[in-house]
Structure 1
Amino acid sequence: MDSLSLILDDMHFDGVVFASTHNSTPWAWHLATPGLAAFHMVTNGQAWLIREGEEPLLLQTGDLIVLPAGCMHRIQDKPQTMAVAQDLVPFMAKSELEPQRHGGQGEPKCDLISGHARFDVDMAAPLIAALPSTLHVRGLGEAPPVWLAIGLQFLAHEVSSPRPAQQAIINRLGDILFMECIRDYVEAVPEGSGNWLAALKDRALSNALANMHRDPRRNWTVPELAQQACLSRSAFADRFSQTLGEPPLTYLTRHRMRLAARQLANSGLSISKIADQVGYASEAAFSQAFKREYGASPSAWRQQRLSALDTHGTPRGQTDTDPPNEKAAA
């Protein structure tokens, strides 16, 4: 499996939460899903994306816009709309396929499918931080991506009427569309850009990354990783550090700590068992490494997470847009 596939697997995608809306002028929505990628697909008409400190962005029929970090934004009929923006989150929580009618009685109209992806926020953090604030895939123009046209057509058909296994299919399709956006962006990242995602296009570094993600428990050394990359030790270490911004074993340690944090938050495994799973023979060494990364010992961090869950009732990687039955099943 290639390195990007392994990184995406580590994010543990769990489908999408969405709302279908039929909007008549004047209309406006606002949406924020911190840490979870928000998206809007324009199936008919046009809309404007409004973000603080940024120029308004026109979205047209067939366009897909993804906000990887789920930052607060508005989507509306025109840059200076007369409408008061309404929160989309409560409508996504309903998970109803019937389009929500919104706005006034005027023309033009706009049909949207909006929502957010669900994944492990902590595991996704490095990838999300490397992506731009928006990923805009245009459905019109000289060469719109084939996957976008097929995906939008399939999604529009799927939400048109109730069918068996509908939510499961929409979940998988939403995951695929988001992954396609990421893949397109990674393929376009130029060498020397300073973005660590460029490493995924570098065959040598990609091989090393794939091995670390495939077997994080292994006691990797820089010479062993260099051998996987078919480079000398010094050439590999320099190339890795320049491209990813940190030495190979620092990257590996931070990845291991994210894996450990996921286990601490989502399992009842003992600290020693988790330490072993992420490549530490010594629980003490693991605890020291974890505290350097997260500012608390594994046991204290786990207790903080459990307390936060008891207080807020929403695990990391989910939001209050998730239907109750899906939270329980996640």
Structure 2
Amino acid sequence: MDDDVLSEVLRPLWLTDVFHSTWKAGGQWGVEGHDDSCAIVHYMVDGGCVISFQDDSEPVSLNQGDLAVFPHGTAHTFAAETGAAVTPLSTLLPHCRPGRSEVVSVGSPPYTTRMLCASLRYCAIGEPVLYSALPRLIVIRQHFLRGESLLVRTLESLPSEIGRTAPGSRLVTLRAFETVFILSLRIAMEQLADESPALQALHHPGISKALTAIHGSYRTPWTVESLAREAGLSRSVFAQLFRELVGQPPMRHLTLRRLQEARRQLAETSVPLQEIARLIGYGSQVGFHLAFRKEYAMTPGEYRNRNRTGPAPVPVTS
């Protein structure tokens, strides 16, 4: 089994499209964003800005060369300084259609701040089970980027690449931003683990092994005891630590991973329900049926029929 926890956790996640924009700002300026169902990336090419949220948390300063990732598209404001008057993002960018690119000027000349932004759209069915536990903002400072040559080269090449109209440019741009996104999470896992329990879970030598087992081999009839052995920890220590870092018990996490794969199979294939139950690790179709209905308030068959015309259901249990 592959021992790369980040690859296994992110394997179900696939980006479907990207909207990107180049921002030029000067003088006193501010932009107020909104919640969005996507991941957002801000890369400070020149100058800097201040990020703030709609609560009492401390503002975060971004400087030249810094990279900010918002895994959940959380609403935020970016501005020249704290307290600056803001303009709604929807006013500046009323049509953020995936696959498009825009150049936006805000404030007044001279434009000393330049920022590359992107909204990364992904399929909700493929959202990793642990993904929701990631922090709302991950900041990769310039000094962390220096040792990541692939990430630096990708960021440096993006401004020229996104302006091209050559064949395949849209796909190239999508894959470039996907690379930026995944490499950012890798740096966060390795360098910024203390900032988030979810990042600590990915970085912890024992819990990461259990996560790799759950996400990479979900068909295996795991128990708390066998996962604890995989992690090299006692059952009690493992169960407590897993819950503290991941935010849910190990068997609950395994169930959600299995059902995530079931949703993918139901949405994308015509594999019979009994076979899907076997493929995701259930000994019987009845057990699969009951677990799916408890989680999504509908049967697998109902979900398959509904998914042909509507979005994936939102879990009714936490």
Q: Same fold (TM over 0.5)?
A: yes
- Alignment correspondent of 2:230: 228
Of 149, 154, 172, the match for 1:151: 154
Could you tell me which runs of 5 or more consecutive residues in structure 2 were left unpaired when the two chains were aligned: 314-318
The 1:263–1:165 alpha-carbon spacing in structure 2 relative to 1, beyond 3 Å, is same
Instruction: State the Cα distance separating 1:7 from its structure 2 match.
Output: 0.5
- Alignment correspondent of 1:259: 261
- TM-score, normalising length from structure 2? 0.80
Tell me how far apart the structure 2 counterparts of residues 256 and 107 of structure 1 sit (CA, whole Å): 54
Percent identity over paired residues: 26
- TM-score, normalising length from structure 1? 0.77
Please state if 1:60 is matched with 2:63: yes
- Alignment correspondent of 2:316: none
Please state if 1:17 is matched with 2:41: no
Tell me how far apart the structure 1 counterparts of residues 115 and 220 of structure 2 sit (CA, whole Å): 47
Please state if 1:280 is matched with 2:292: no
> What is the letter of the counterpart of residue 62 of structure 2?
L
Q: 1:19-45: CA deviations, max 9, x gaps? A: 223345455444335342112112122
Tell me how far apart the structure 1 counterparts of residues 247 and 144 of structure 2 sit (CA, whole Å): 34
- Alignment correspondent of 1:319: none
- Alignment correspondent of 1:271: 273
- Alignment correspondent of 2:185: 182
Tell me how far apart the structure 1 counterparts of residues 253 and 238 of structure 2 sit (CA, whole Å): 14
Instruction: State the Cα distance separating 1:109 from its structure 2 match.
Output: 3.6
SS in 2 for 1:65: strand
SS in 1 for 2:170: helix
Could you tell me which runs of 5 or more consecutive residues in structure 1 were left unpaired when the two chains were aligned: 310-314, 317-330
User: Is the 2:9–2:211 contact (alpha carbons within 8 Å) kept by the matching residues of 1?
Assistant: no
Of 93, 97, 107, the match for 2:97: 93
> What is the letter of the counterpart of residue 97 of structure 2?
A
- Alignment correspondent of 1:207: 209
Tell me how far apart the structure 1 counterparts of residues 83 and 207 of structure 2 sit (CA, whole Å): 47
Number of matched residues? 306
Of 175, 187, 210, the match for 1:172: 175
> What is the letter of the counterpart of residue 289 of structure 1?
A
> What is the letter of the counterpart of residue 107 of structure 1?
P
Q: RMSD across aligned C-alpha pairs, in angstroms?
A: 3.2
Of 114, 134, 159, the match for 1:111: 114
- Range moving further from structure 2, 203-212 or 25-34: 25-34
- Alignment correspondent of 1:120: 123
- Alignment correspondent of 1:38: 40
Instruction: State the Cα distance separating 1:80 from its structure 2 match.
Output: 3.9
The 1:112–1:236 alpha-carbon spacing in structure 2 relative to 1, beyond 3 Å, is closer
